[in-house]
Structure formats: C-alpha cells, structure tokens
Amino acid sequence: MRALVTGGAGFIGSHLCEFLLHQGWEVVCMDNFVTGSSENVAPFQARPGFGLVRHNVTEYIRVDRPLDWVLHLASPASPRDYLELPIQTLKVGALGTHNALGVAKATGARFLLASTSEVYGDPHVHPQREDYWGNVNPVGPRGVYDEAKRFAEAITMAYHRTHGVDTRIARIFNCFGPRMRGDDGRAIPAFISQALASRPLTVFGDGSQTRSFQYIADLIDGLWRLMRASVNDPVNLGNPQEMTLLDLAKRILRLTGTTSEIVFRPLPTDDPKVRQPDIGRARALLGWEPRVEVDEGLRLTIDWFRRRLRA
C-alpha cells in the first residue's frame, strides 16, 4: 500500500506517517514546513519506503507513481497559527483540498480529510453529534479556520457524490502528545511549557470553558479504523471526557510538580464555551473509543517536553 500524507511533517501527520510505515506501507510525506517541522519526521526519515517532498499543496500536486490513499492533513491547526496565517489557512482548506482530491480522483485512491470539531463553532448542542450543523461566525477571526474546514468537508462530499471518490471525513477533537510545538498557542503545550519553566500558567477567561482531550495514539488508531471502514459521512474522533481549562491547568501543575501560579487573561473572540464529542458513530461503526487516560497521556507528553529541554 502507498499513501500520500499532506501535512505529514506536522504533529498529527508525522505520527500517522510513522504508523503507516510500521504497517509496511510506502509513505510520501508532503509538507511546506510553514507549521510542520523536519524534526518530526527525523526519527523515521531514513526508513525504507519513506519519501519527503517539500511542496505547498495549494499549488498543483504531481505524483508520478500509483497511490492507494491520499490523507489530507495539511493546514495550520492551532489558534495562534491560523490567526497569524489567515489567508494561507483559507487557501489550504480550499485550494489544497481541491488539489488533494484531484490527486485521489486521478489515481483512483481513497481520500481521508482531517477535519475538526471547530466546524461546530460555539455550539448550541452539547455534546456535539455529527448531524449538528454548527454555530460559526464566518466573519470573525476564527472563521478563517472554521470555514476553511467546512468548505473542505463540502468539496470532499461533492467529489464523492459527483466523481465517485471513496472519501472519509474525520472530525478531530482536541488531540495532544509528543511533537507538539510549545509555542503553538494550544492549551496543553502552553501549560506544560510554562510549568516546566516555572512560569505562571495563562488561562483565558475564567477557565470554565470546557474541552475534551485525546492522546495522539488513540487518534491514530481512530484514523486507521476509519480508513478501513466503509463510511463516507463525517465521524467524530475525540474523548467524551470533558473538563474545564482551569481543571486542565491544575492537573498539569500537579503532574509537573511545579509551584507556578495560574493567571487569567481576557477570553479571545468567539472562543467556544463547550466542546465535547458524541462518539456514538465511532463506537458503532469503527469499534473505537479512547483508551489512554488523560493523566497518563499528560505524563507521556510532559516527559517528552522534559527530554527536549535537556537536549
């Protein structure tokens, strides 16, 4: 089996590339390194069957050999990145997804879109099911990411219905683990980096907003199961265990053993108040649910950040 993974040098993309190599696949990792890193693929870059291509997927994608899968993960994904790169985020969601779908159509490959829970916006339905259409502000600062992914889902389904491309859509809820950037603005790497440096942990708002966090190994397992299932409708992949961001900060303080204090800053515009997946579809169709407890995943992630600090 041979796969093209766009955004393959990113946090999730690099773990997916590594997993597929372990399954005996050939992997073409495509990335322009705007938010990805060559360090993420360094542990397995020399392995047989792995190829790294520096390319911006908003431009025409040329692949000279057959493909079985196109796995489209390319996109800025953290609030800091997509707020700093709004046009690039919109372009990769629209032009990049169009180009990746074109490769799948031309090669007869199956296609997986890494979508996001952000398609639900600041939801009025809780927990969020796949049949909920969302509450998104298209002209707010976060709209560049939310609407890019909503468009990506729409064109993916259009290629499925019009051209018969065999597609999958994974709506990924908050994921964490090794290879996250400490400065990407997401809560877990930010809290861990601050705690290990004995700096105050920055919580936005009063910390009562909720999120649901899954460890990277669980997400990769979910993507693998989705690839092998015959389901074209979107599927939530996330941890239904909901917690407040203040609780998350306190957990990281406990697990790192730091004496840092917690400080509060104004809540960003359109920041969702709640986020919790309904994973009934994933349980029924994929036999999937998260296995790694949040505290265990946090310990593994903290250990990885500690090793990086020592290196």
Catalytic residue IDs? 145
Could you write out the DSSP letters of every residue in 108-155? Answer: T-EEEEEEEGGGGBS-SSSSBPTT---B--TTSTTHHHHHHHHHHHHH
Residue 34, by phi and psi: left (phi above 0), alpha (psi -120 to 50) or beta?
Answer: alpha
Per the structure block, which two tokens stand in for 307? Answer: 């090793």
Q: Please say whether the beta carbons of 258 and 107 come within 8 A.
A: no
Give the DSSP H/E element, type plus range, for residue 213.
Answer: none
Q: 262: which strand partners?
A: 201
> Angle at the Cα of 266 (from 264 to 270), degrees rounded to 5?
130
Rounded Cα distance between 156 and 70, Å, is 12
Rounded Cα distance between 51 and 53, Å, is 7
